[in-house]
Structure 1
């Protein structure tokens, strides 16, 4: 049973959203009016808010059961959607479950069932197989980035999960890809399609950067010095390529993070946290970072290695020039390298003008207490401002997790903060504070 249910206007105020964009308005109306809705819109346009608002409005506040299931292709997307819906402060419980973390955590969180359950198909299938909760009250099914789930091999698990949902009255599918075939088992023959793909490209500039050397590393360095201290993603096709680029940038004292499927979940999450809070302005990533992760608006992305398929090119580019912002996608090619047919010939970018890269301002501190300890962002801010003697402009982004928290602070004061604040009490818990 939920408490203190909030309406749409109050939720939007809490999110600091003063006006929905046209896609969100049309999607909300369609979801309210139709049993099956397919929402096609570029990455970063607000699809989560578009389906979450009507979903929250449809929930039964008297129920203690799971009423909605959101299936996603990755842990990162599950965590992101959980954070977005929690930040709405609707009054309804929401939880995310996914592979790569102990099943015991799921069992603890699901002792009190959420109204909305988010999960990867494999982990949800496991819970279904072990009858850990009732499925008969699940009325709404959302398949977010459904094409990606099919692409990464979740079709068998998705089929098994969906076939067990006998009481569905509403299905919502979202994607940032055009023309994906929807499997028959999803059962959305009659559907309303909201299509906003192809409406955003005018804000995106694509430039080609020519490298005289096949390894392209020195040209990459010159390009990074050309764009200066802006936030961006460097896309590679392979984990080995990420390591090569990372080692090179490290040798040049350029701070950065890495993100790929071979990393431990904890390391991937921390890499994103440090990218979001400005500790690292560069992220070297595979196509895993092209969609389904929560990262800030950025001015550029770099195709260090050319993508193999048009969809990958589109999704990588979708990380910049989001909604109404402008951004640049740089195609970094060896002088003898042939561009794929889906990359049209673009203007050559002159990178002779170089900017001096400034040293990083922020670093990230880890706090060994989180939401389960009743710790809030306000508690953390109070500790750092009062006992840590920080000014407000020295307190960066705070990210609060279930069992820990992360806070960005200036590098120049980090050591003193650790010395003064380590083993402090937040609520009733003595917390460790360390640098990551």
Structure 2
């Protein structure tokens, strides 16, 4: 059985913790592993292989997280842009044998009670072998309005329900026939493709075309941008599950959450005697039931209850409990302002390593740059800024306007506006640079490669 890990996402529901280029599955929100790492680790216990469907921009981030947990043998399908879950799953199923069982899981969910989880998987495998499309319904514990629901009679699915009003959610919880829609599936790859061709032929045909035109190298399948955009965007629920007659559901009792809001995250975290989330850098005075998340600074609360407080290096969110779903409206406003806060954390991953913004103002930016052994930043120039590089660890081979020189610890170089330059790490350890950008315009798009 192969675990297809869906690793997309826009990073909006848990902003500012998550961003477009650093969505929540890569955050270590509830343990010393990211949600993505937890997903892969959990399913490697019951699956023979892992196939990750990821946005191309997150590929190296995903690789770093896999390397951190000692996982190296994987297949990647890289999408240049997301087209929702139906095309993502179709592309993954096209990459494996039609009779192969595939367990499709999002990469940003939490699951407790692995024994019950494994039992549900085993039951689903029996139905999948009979050519059913199997989904997992979670027995609801409270009237959640942020989840979709499945109406079922035993294993027979009657209907799929959208996220309900509170009144409807209360009715669902009090009925034995309604379950939270987990967004996880198990079926034969060929069975899904057959149902997709029958229920959504345009998605099927355009997915086949995109897959056949993909570039394949070293277990990495890169989908062409034009072909990807030619696939209609739709979820697996709308495209297939709501139309197919071959759908079954496994009623599941393992602990599950999609961490789709800060309220859901609050429920997962350990709490102190005042029912505030436990964090080392928080002092609470007569404050109760608060979600506190902070990275560096001390956070002190006095006489406040039922708040969500999320403090990151470059943004602070304060919300009432129950209102954090409106964070999407904040993200939309940031988009209208063309703010980098939507897409980027202060740390950004690149094929050669990563860089972290340490400080910035109107006409300067200071970064810490880490370049992996044998990697390099490709030739580029800037029209609006000068750069100073200082080596703080390792050895840098710097080339400016065709002239190369070696820089060692505590040595520096100066890159003027318009200079063609690149830097590589010829050593065996990570190269650390401090980069100081100075100019009238210091946005990331002032790069000509």
Same fold (TM over 0.5): no
TM-score computed with the length of structure 1 as normaliser: 0.32
Q: Where is the strand percentage greater, Structure 1 or Structure 2?
A: 2
**Greater Rg by CA:** 2
With normalisation by structure 2, the TM-score equals 0.32
